[in-house]
Structure 1
Amino acid sequence: MTAAPTVDRRFYAWEVGIVLALSLGRSAVYAVLQLAERLSIAPLADQTATVQRSRSRDEFYDFSFQVLDSLFALAPVVLVLYLVFLHGGNPFRRWGLDFRRAGQDWAWGAGLFALIGLGTLGVYLAGRSLGLTAQIIPADVTEYWWSTPVLLLAALRHSLLEEIIMIAYLFDRARRIWPQLTDSPAAVAVLVFATALLRGAYHLYQGFGPGLGNALMGVIFAAVYLKYGRVMPLVIAHFLLDAVAFLAFPLVLQVFGLSSV
């Protein structure tokens, strides 16, 4: 079997830049600009931020736009999987993006969902009380028979896009760009906080609270990935977080007696 060719580290650096420009790096730039615009218009406490909204008043076109949005948003995920395969690797095995340890993955995912869910709610409430966070509307989608599966597809899209690119892919490529990461805890810490800050940045359109909350989530997810070596628990946890937010956020607030925030 022919060995995979050695790839120059500069190639990986350019590759990472291109992938981020096509996906979450682009989102971070827009989110920072949106936050600046919000601050110039009115106090954040008086504004709303909608994550998933209807795209058309016509049912057929709304459904079409919603599904296409999710499918096209997954293109960068397919791209990074292809790039790893192109250089002789199997990303599903390398990153733990498979079902070999389904029970353990779901246990870790459910635990992270509970931890991050309660923490996110706390950060959101603190941000609202301090006037640093807009009122978040996770989903403002017209009720049709297909609304629930489309929102679950959107939750899956967010979980795959963010965890595969922000954790599995960036950590993989960082080790190839900076081989010293393997032997330097300080370098690993820099990588963890850099990816966490980027994760927080592309949520800033919702206000400072969600930016901070998602950055903390990024630190926790990165630590779990480094310890466990599998991205699937992170995908599961993220999917559960978004699914509950999209489908039951008002109910969650009501359960905690917070329906007015």
Structure 2
Amino acid sequence: MRTWLNPPRQNPGTPLDAAERRALWIEIAIVLLVTFGLSGLSSILSLLEAALAPEPLSDQTVALNAPRSSQQFIDLARQLLGIVRLLAWAALGLYLLWRSGRGPKIIGFARPLLRRDWLPGAGLAALIGLPGLGLYLVARAAGLNLNVAPSILADYWWRLPTEVLWAIANSGAEEILVVAYLITRLRQLGWSENGSLLASALLRGSYHLYQGLGGGFGNVIMGLVFGRYWQRTSKLWPLVVAHALIDCVAFIGYQALRGHVSWLP
């Protein structure tokens, strides 16, 4: 009997010869070193630096969206450049998959539909977002997490649309590269569904370690849920929608509640 924990084996296509396997490993290494793999290594160093500081982790604060200049329009330009970089990462993953015969429709990233994509995405956002907030509070109380300020952008006219764009860019880049691209490539290399899922989830957790061990662990759980959902359904849009909703609520909700809720930094 097939279960959620033991999904049906996906057809990886024609077995690769040694040269093709080597080329695929080189491609994966380059993509990860350009994108989230390098972010993971940098995040590990950030956590190490925070752990070596004299203040405990729970007394330190990290901001997800922070100003990038004291000049308003230079700040806006740099924010937009950061957003474009993430969208370019997403485009890279889509392009490489398309070139290998796995276009957007195959990975579940064709035109989104309300009942098929948006509603499941909203459900996934609630499934991950609410327990995730509880895990963050527990980890911070236990001294395993920094205080996370989702957005400390100045209150300019462009703050709200920029935060929404950040949420969209984050979700697109992460779900395309960390779920669809990485799991697909590992399948081609002969990895099991569980093995490729675990690799994807650990990568997601690694580049969130700058928030603390709680942030890393919470994102590993998110990666396991999101990755398994995609393996079972081949639908990527619900993951992108869910991730974007979670980030939008975090960015905009933080700005609205900051100074009114005691546990927010």
Equivalent pair of 2:187/2:196 in contact (CA under 8 Å): no
21, 32, 35: which one aligns with 1:23: 35
Q: 1:69-84 maps to which residues of 2 (within 5 A)?
A: 69-84=82-97
C-alpha root-mean-square deviation of aligned residues, in Å? 2.0
What is the match of residue 33 of structure 1?
45
Q: 1:88-237 maps to which residues of 2 (within 5 A)?
A: 88-90=101-103, 92-99=104-111, 101-178=113-190, 181=191, 187-237=192-242
Q: Which runs of 4+ in 1 moved over 3 A?
A: 250-255, 257-261
What is the match of residue 239 of structure 1?
244
State the Cα distance separating 1:51 from its structure 2 match.
Answer: 0.5
Q: 1:35 to 1:258 in 2, by over 3 A?
A: same
Compare the two structures and name the one with the higher helix fraction.
1
Structure 1 unaligned runs (5+)?
A: 1-5, 182-186
Equivalent pair of 1:253/1:259 in contact (CA under 8 Å): no
Q: 1:145 to 1:102 in 2, by over 3 A?
A: same
State the Cα distance separating 1:128 from its structure 2 match.
Answer: 1.1
State the Cα distance separating 1:223 from its structure 2 match.
Answer: 1.2
Structure 2 unaligned runs (5+)?
A: 1-15
Matched position secondary structure for 1:82: helix
What is the match of residue 3 of structure 1?
none
* CA–CA distance in structure 2, aligned partners of residues 53 and 252 of structure 1: 17
Equivalent pair of 2:43/2:209 in contact (CA under 8 Å): yes
Kindly, what percent of the aligned residue pairs are identical? Answer: 38
Matched position secondary structure for 1:93: coil
Equivalent pair of 1:193/1:219 in contact (CA under 8 Å): yes
> Scaled by the length of structure 2, what TM-score is found?
0.88
State the Cα distance separating 1:88 from its structure 2 match.
Answer: 3.6
Matched position secondary structure for 1:74: helix
Equivalent pair of 2:40/2:207 in contact (CA under 8 Å): yes
* CA–CA distance in structure 2, aligned partners of residues 177 and 118 of structure 1: 36
* CA–CA distance in structure 2, aligned partners of residues 100 and 73 of structure 1: 20
What is the match of residue 60 of structure 1?
73
- State which drifts further: 25-34 or 190-199: 190-199
Number of corresponding residues: 248
